[in-house]
Amino acid sequence: MTDTRVLDIVSLYPKEMNIYGDTGNVKTIELRARLMGYKPRIHQYNVGDTWPEHVDMILGGGGQDKGQAIISDDFFTRAQQIRTLAEEGVPMLVICGLYQLFGEYFETREGKRLPGIHVLGVHTVGQDTRMIGNLVEHSEQCGPIVGYENHSGQTVLHDDGTQPWATVDDEGTGNNGTDHTEGARKFNVIGTYMHGSVLPKNPQLADFLIKKAAEHRYGTFAPQMSDEQKAQLDTLDALAGAAFDVAAH
Report, as residue numbers or ranges, the catalytic residues: 96, 195
Q: Return the half-sphere exposure (C-beta side, CA atoms, 13 A cut-off) of residue 177.
A: 15
Half-sphere exposure of 134 (CA within 13 A, CB side): 14
84-123 residues near ligand GLN, rule: CB under 6 A = 96-97
Q: Is 117 helix (H, G, I), strand (E, B) or coil?
A: coil
The one among 103, 153, 164, 172 contacting ligand GLN by CB under 6 A: 153
Q: Smaller CB distance to ligand GLN: residue 132 or 231?
A: 132
23 binds ligand GLN (CB under 6 A): no
User: Which C-beta is closer to ligand GLN: that of 71 or that of 82?
Assistant: 71
Of 65 and 74, CB closest to ligand GLN:
65
Specify the residue, 168 or 213, whose C-beta has the smaller distance to ligand GLN. 168
Q: Which range of residues in 134-142, 149-157, 212-220, 224-232 is near ligand GLN by CB under 6 A?
A: 149-157
Kind plus residue range of the DSSP H or E element containing 19: none
162 near ligand GLN (CB under 6 A): no
Say if residue 121 is exposed, middle or buried (CB neighbours under 10 Å; 0-12, 13-18, 19+).
Answer: middle
Q: Is 101 exposed, middle or buried (0-12, 13-18, 19+ CB in 10 A)?
A: buried
Residues 44-83: x where in contact with ligand GLN by CB under 6 A, - otherwise, as a string = ------------------xxxx--x---------------
Which CB atom, from 96 or from 210, has the smaller least distance to ligand GLN?
96
What Rg value do the Cα atoms of the chain yield, rounded? 17
CB of 37 to ligand GLN, least distance (A): 34
Closest CB to ligand GLN: residue number: 62
Side chain identity, residue 215: E
Please report how close the Cβ of residue 102 comes to ligand GLN at its closest, in angstroms: 12
Residue 151 sits in the site that holds ligand GLN (CB under 6 A): yes
User: CA angle, corner 37, sides to 84 and 44, nearest 5?
Assistant: 45
If you write DSSP's letter for every residue of 161-195 in order, what string do you get? Answer: T-EEEEEE-SS--TTTSSS-EEEEEETTEEEE--B
Helix axes 227-248, 23-35, angle to 10 degrees: 150
- Check residue 150 for interaction with ligand GLN (CB under 6 A): yes
Site string for ligand GLN, 125-144 (x = CB under 6 A): -x------------------
Interface positions with ligand GLN (CB under 6 A):
19, 62-65, 68, 96-97, 126, 150-153
